[in-house]
Amino acid sequence: MNATVAAKLRAHVPLVVTAVLLVTMFGAGSVQYDGFFSGQVLLNLLIDNAFLLVVAVGMTFVVLTGGIDLSVGAVVALATMISAWLVEKHHWPALLVIPLVLAIGTAGGALMGWIIHTFEIQPFIVTLAGMFLARGLCYTISVESISITDSSYTAMAQTRIPLPGGMFLSPSAVIAVVVVVAAFVVLHHTRLGRNVYALGGSEQSALLMGLPVTRTKVTVYAVSGFCSALGGVLLTFYMLSGYGLHAVGLELDAIAAVVIGGTLLTGGSGYLLGTVLGVLVLGLIQTVISFQGTLSSWWTRIVIGGLLFVFIVLQRLITRSRRA
């Protein structure tokens, strides 16, 4: 019993470290910069990173199974391009465009999951091919940025949902929160969630237990594809444009958020709350650099790289202690 409790405590270490890091960074920023200590600054983290949070939720499902999805950034860009092209060039209504974009993303993710399982190819290779395919499709639509002037999209971009104390949220932030809540319920309170953790723990053991490994693997990549497409829709609201160079490197940000949030890259262990904290940490790094004003935006990448290295080492130490 004591060994079980110790194992559970060790599993929570990365999550606790991320939470402490977030609080420490916010506290340091509040002491250093005027106007930093406010509820709206925290809400702005959610508003500005709503699309990343949704994409990171999908990535969490994949990483929990021991997989990886490198196509998410390209799928986000493709979603913005398809949306802008259909809305602006062909005058399709948003209520028709958005479900179509989500269906394309979901189908693409499911196809990659099926290929990965059926042909036993490494997820890295299959999703890398998906990344090149999606990014290439963007340029078959247009090599230039397509601005969006449609009233439905501009309304979503400009709407502010008032909160007490003069604070506000955007519709995209609310959608991101709904996605997080839905994903939390699925991962921690449904059979699919249990299958995801079991598959990440050991695929062979999951097969021996009679779990639907094929269906689970296809489903998690379909979820990632859906979240990527939805993230693209939210980015379209945020940028009011479609462009093939949108979301370059977003897949790395999503993976970083998942890892910093405490999900093991080997799968089988992690929490969706950790991913949320990881996204907030990445957003807070950008906010601190913005308040500083004298640092290059590339410092964001440098700090994220350092944090990612630390958390990977921490994961390795936890994994070794479990085996011991």
- For the chain, which residues make up each domain, given as ranges? 2-323
The pLDDT tens digits for 101-140 are 999 999 999 999 999 999 999 999 999 999 999 999 999 9
The pLDDT tens digits for 166-216 are 899 999 999 999 999 999 999 999 999 999 999 998 999 999 999 999 999
**Strand partners of residue 111:** none
DSSP H stretches of helix in 68-190: 72-84, 94-118, 123-141, 151-158, 171-189
Q: How many other CB atoms sit within 10 Å of the CB of residue 61?
A: 30
**Separation between Cα atoms, residue 110 and residue 75, nearest integer Å:** 13
pLDDT band at residue 305 under the 50/70/90 scheme:
confident
The pLDDT tens digits for 160-170 are 999 998 899 99
**Separation between Cα atoms, residue 287 and residue 36, nearest integer Å:** 9
Q: How far is CA 203 from the centre of its chain?
A: 24
**Separation between Cα atoms, residue 260 and residue 133, nearest integer Å:** 28
Fill in the amino acid letter for 286.
Q
Q: Which fold has domain 2-323?
A: ABC transporter involved in vitamin B12 uptake, BtuC (1.10.3470)
pTM for this prediction: 0.94
The pLDDT tens digits for 250-284 are 999 999 999 999 898 888 888 899 999 999 999 99
Q: What is the DSSP code (8-state) at residue 161?
A: E
